[in-house]
């Protein structure tokens, strides 16, 4: 399946209404999608190992979506297939008092993956061009100077974010960005499930229900953010998420393809390293004979 159709085209008008959240592509069943995801996860694990071995590139994967879109289970699915030594997952909640005294990108800086690492952001600095547009009171918490709160604030931040992601790219850190696109009705079903199931009830927050009245405003804010920050080097993928099994399969395939683009094999050993390994092997074999 060609997942490039989910990429938001740079500098082109975009609306989430044009993306069908119920789309399942060529998959005829959930089992078929799970099989595809399983194959991709094997490749993902292998090429993640190559990423770690080469230490030439890093990959940051950002997940955004409305509440109950399934960011947590999809992230868990990815983490289950990779070496924990080479991955770091960060969940961005409401900024702390210290973070609010810094620029809005500051708290993301220290969480960026190193070269050779996979980084996963559950929400991100994109909250500062989406939720803060819908909720001006969130923006007020940052105590910005009044002259910096003008109408050009959001366009200015779009430029800053694009420049930041281009800076990462120019330093070997690539960025993939996923928006999990569910319908408002599907969100209602998932929130009800969160309330009714004891294993999910702990994650329920009343604000998630209250925020449903702002659904249209969120859709507009996300769409404008995507069309202004989706670039060739840091694309936005809007993934249909009515069926979570499809979203998992699509995301596994996209991340795997990205990792494959970095390296096709493990690093070749130089002669000095080969001699070192051969010497170590002989010592180990002698030890076995001595017993």
165-176 per-position pLDDT tens digit: 999 999 999 999
pLDDT at 208: 85
Based on the number of CB atoms within 10 Å of its own CB, is 85 exposed (0-12), middle (13-18) or buried (19 or more)?
exposed
Residue 14 burial (CB count, 10 A):
21
Confidence (pLDDT) at 186 = 97
The model's confidence at residue 203, banded by pLDDT at 50, 70 and 90, is confident
Confidence check: pLDDT of 199 > 90: no
Nearest to 57 by CA among 234, 175, 178: 175
Q: Which two tokens stand for residue 271?
A: 């002669």
State the pLDDT at residue 289: 57
Q: Nearest Cα to 73, choosing from 83, 63, 82?
A: 63
The 10s digit of each residue's pLDDT in 248-276 is 999 999 999 999 999 999 999 899 999 99
Which element (helix H / strand E) includes 158?
helix 153-169
Which of 180, 137, 131 shows the shortest CA–CA distance to 157? 131
Distance between CA 104 and CA 56 in Å, rounded?
Answer: 28
First to last CA, the chain: 56
- Can you tell me the mean pLDDT for 44-53? 98
Q: What is the mean pLDDT of the chain?
A: 94
One DSSP character per residue, 155-221 reads HHHHHHHHHHHHHHHTTTEEEEEEEEE--HHHHHHHHHHHHH-HHHHTT--HHHHHGGGGHHHHHHH
Return d(Cα 97, Cα 107) in angstroms, integer.
Answer: 12
Residues 222-233, mean pLDDT to the nearest whole number: 97
| Residue range 3-290, CATH number | 3.40.50.300
Residue 290 pLDDT greater than 70, yes or no:
no
pLDDT of residue 288: 65
Degrees, nearest 5: CA angle 201-204-207: 160
Contact of 221 with 16, CB cutoff 8 Å: no
pLDDT at 254: 97
- Over residues 20-27, mean pLDDT: 95
How confident is the model over 133-192, as pLDDT tens digits?
999 999 999 999 999 988 899 999 999 999 999 999 999 999 999 999 999 999 999 999
**236 near 226, Cβ under 8 Å?**
yes
Instruction: Indicate the pTM of the whole model.
Output: 0.94
**Cβ distance 160 to 125 under 8 Å?**
no
Q: Rounded mean pLDDT of 18-30?
A: 94
Q: To which residue do tokens 């999990």 refer?
A: 180
Neighbours of 123 (CB within 10 A): 17
Q: State the pLDDT at residue 10.
A: 86
Q: Where does the pLDDT of residue 202 fall: very low under 50, low under 70, confident under 90, or very high at 90 and above?
A: confident
Is the predicted pLDDT of residue 236 greater than 90, yes or no? yes
pLDDT tens string 79-130 = 999 999 999 999 999 999 999 999 999 999 989 999 999 999 999 999 999 9
Residue 65 DSSP symbol: E
């Amino acid at each position: 399946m060609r997942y490039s159709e989910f990429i938001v085209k740079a500098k082109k008008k975009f609306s989430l209404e044009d993306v069908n959240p119920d789309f399942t592509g060529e998959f005829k069943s959930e089992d078929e999608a799970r099989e595809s995801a399983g194959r991709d996860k094997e490749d993902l694990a292998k090429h993640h190992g190559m990423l770690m071995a080469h230490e030439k590139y890093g990959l940051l994967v950002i997940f955004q979506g409305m509440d109950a879109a399934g960011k947590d289970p999809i992230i868990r699915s990815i983490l289950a297939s990779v070496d924990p030594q080479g991955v770091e997952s960060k969940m961005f909640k409401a900024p702390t008092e210290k973070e609010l005294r810094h620029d809005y990108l500051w708290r993301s800086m220290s969480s960026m993956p190193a070269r050779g690492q996979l980084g996963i952001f559950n929400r991100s600095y994109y909250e500062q061009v989406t939720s803060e547009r819908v909720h001006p009171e969130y923006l007020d918490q940052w105590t910005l100077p009044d002259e910096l709160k003008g109408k050009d604030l959001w366009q200015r931040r779009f430029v800053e974010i694009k420049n930041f992601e281009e800076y990462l790219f120019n330093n070997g850190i690539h960025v993939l960005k996923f928006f999990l696109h569910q319908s408002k009705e599907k969100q209602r079903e998932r929130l009800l499930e969160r309330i009714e199931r004891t294993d999910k009830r702990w994650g329920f927050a009343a604000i998630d229900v209250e925020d449903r009245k702002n659904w249209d405003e969120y859709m507009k804010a996300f769409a404008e953010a995507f069309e202004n920050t989706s670039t060739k080097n840091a694309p936005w993928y809007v993934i249909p998420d009515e069926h979570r099994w499809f979203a998992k399969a699509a995301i596994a395939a996209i991340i795997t393809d990205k990792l494959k683009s970095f390296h096709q094999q493990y690093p070749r050993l130089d002669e000095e390293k080969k001699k070192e390994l051969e010497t170590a092997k002989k010592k180990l074999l002698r030890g076995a004979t001595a017993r």
